[in-house]
A and B are shown apart, each in its own frame.
Chain A
Amino acid sequence: MQKNHKHIYTVSEITQVIKGMLEEKVGEVWIEGEVSNFKAASSGHFYFSLKDQGALIWAAMFAYANKGLKFKLEDGLKVICFGKVDVYGPSGQYKIIIERIEPKGKGGQQLAFEQLKKKLEQEGLFDLGHKKMLPLMLFSVGIVTSDKGAAVRDILQILKKGASCVDVVIRSVRVQGEHAANEIAQAVEEFNSFGGIDLIIVSRGGGSTEDLWSFNEEKVARAIYNSRLPVVSAVGHQINTTLSDLVADVFVETPSAAAKIIVDKKNSLLAQLDSLKHELEFAATNTVNELKNRLTGLTHMLKSPADRLLEKQQFLDELFSGLNYNMRHTFELAGERSSSLIQRLESLSPLAILSRGYSLSMLMAQGAIVKDIAQIKPGDKLKTVLHIGAFTSLVQEVINDESSSSKGLG
């Protein structure tokens, strides 16, 4: 560079100098900052700026570099990126051409997972209301997994031992790597159109988060969400929850646990059947017993004619003995009454009066008892009855005297 004499640069020349200096001196760098002004162009290139409290630098990440990016770049995201300074003459701008970018503080994959999870959650893919009930029993199970993996082995073993009535259809897919998500999603759809399947199990054995990544992909989550058939997600061997777990109708931690759901259903159904059988026996026995009791009751009520006759005779006997008693009683009463009457009668008898010294005179001619002197005249023949014996007399004189007449009878 000639500094001592005046050199007049053209704009292009000086830009070229700056470009050379910047690109040479600064070159490739790691930069930490916050994303702002993010734009994804239709060409696939990303344009944004990185800033901190004091400065801002423009950045571009071309399609080839951002193609494999798992998470979404967005304003406010703190990132660490690697790139090189580039001066673009036509607009007089310098910017960082970014080759690699990572969210600060956590892995890109983790961020991608969180971002997608948030998005699907907002769309309602994890809604409990969308989750389907498993059928009463699962007789045909479709398994989406690798036919060479541990998962299929575990599931088949448990089903064979515990629920040998269950048919299994395996749709073998790759369970990790680039094509896995596509294959898994497609297999879920295929089971739905294939028919005859009661349940789909989406499964793979344990592995690192990266190994299980396909089950975090959006297309897998959507295929499970859109499945008409209920889906059980059984991915991994630990508690690493994948998006397919969150979308599935049921999720379990291991492939074995998925198979156990079916075995448990079978066993609880068998137990239920047993108790239904018992209830059936009980109800039938009850019905018969109840009828028996009614029959016994009715038999009691339904007597033979002979029994009825006996009963009537007995009744009659009872009546008779009652009657006899009553009769006797009546007779006794009558006897008592009559003897008292006889006594009274005796006391009233004229003969009894005679015994007390009175006498009774009758006109011999008419036999009429003489009560009044008007009935008699001297010369009438009278018969007089005494207490003991009787005599006849002739009337000498009729004494017409009131006071003595009453005594005249005496």
Chain B
Amino acid sequence: MKEKPMFEEDLKKLQKIVEELSSGKITLGESLKKYEEGVRLAQSCSQTLTSAQRKVELLMKKDGKFGLEKFDDTQTEEK
């Protein structure tokens, strides 16, 4: 499993930053920092969504224990 618990949090942070920046109630120094962080968050969220590093696996259960096996999905495209 890829770990993506940060995605939703990052997105929320990004939304908050945009709100803060739009309010215009922060100092220039702060706003520059926020802007940089916002851009970074937006890029990392976009990258997470556009990355092509997926895995396809089979969930097996043997003797009450779970195991994952690689699933060959290349053949699924033939038909």
Contacts and interface: CB of A to CB of B under 8 A. Distances in A.
Contact of A280 (B18, B53, B56): B18
A270 B49 contact: yes
A191 B59 contact: yes
Contacts of A142: 59
Contact of A279 (B18, B31, B56, B76): B18
A190 B54 contact: no
A190 B61 contact: yes
B1 A196 contact: yes
Given A136-B11, A170-B71, A284-B35, A164 B51 contact: yes
A164 B54 contact: yes
A283 B18 CA distance: 7
B18 A165 contact: no
Nearest to A186: B61
Interface residues of A, number: 44
A140 to B, nearest CB: 6
A276 B14 contact: yes
Contacts of A288: 28
Interface string B1-29: 11010011001001101100110101010
Contact of A170 (B24, B58, B79): B58
A156 B76 contact: yes
A86 to B, nearest CB: 49
Given A135-B8, A190-B66, A169 B57 contact: yes
Contacts of A266: 49
B35 A280 contact: yes
A287 B24 contact: yes
A190 B61 CA distance: 9
B62 interface: no
A169 B59 contact: yes
A190 B67 CA distance: 12
Interface string A267-278: 001101100110
A184 interface: no
Contacts of B50: 164-165, 270
Interface string A147-169: 10000110011011001111111
A38 interface: no
Interface string B40-73: 0010011011111111111101000010100101
Contacts of B57: 167-170
Contacts of A159: 54
A168 B55 contact: yes
Given A165-B54, A170-B59, A291 B73 contact: no
Contact of B54 (A136, A168, A194, A286): A168
5 contacts: A152-B76, A163-B49, A283-B21, A283-B22, A283-B35
Q: Which 3 A-B pairs have the closest CB atoms?
A: A283-B21, A196-B1, A164-B52
Given A136-B11, A165-B48, 7 more contacts: A165-B51, A170-B59, A272-B11, A273-B46, A276-B15, A287-B21, A291-B28
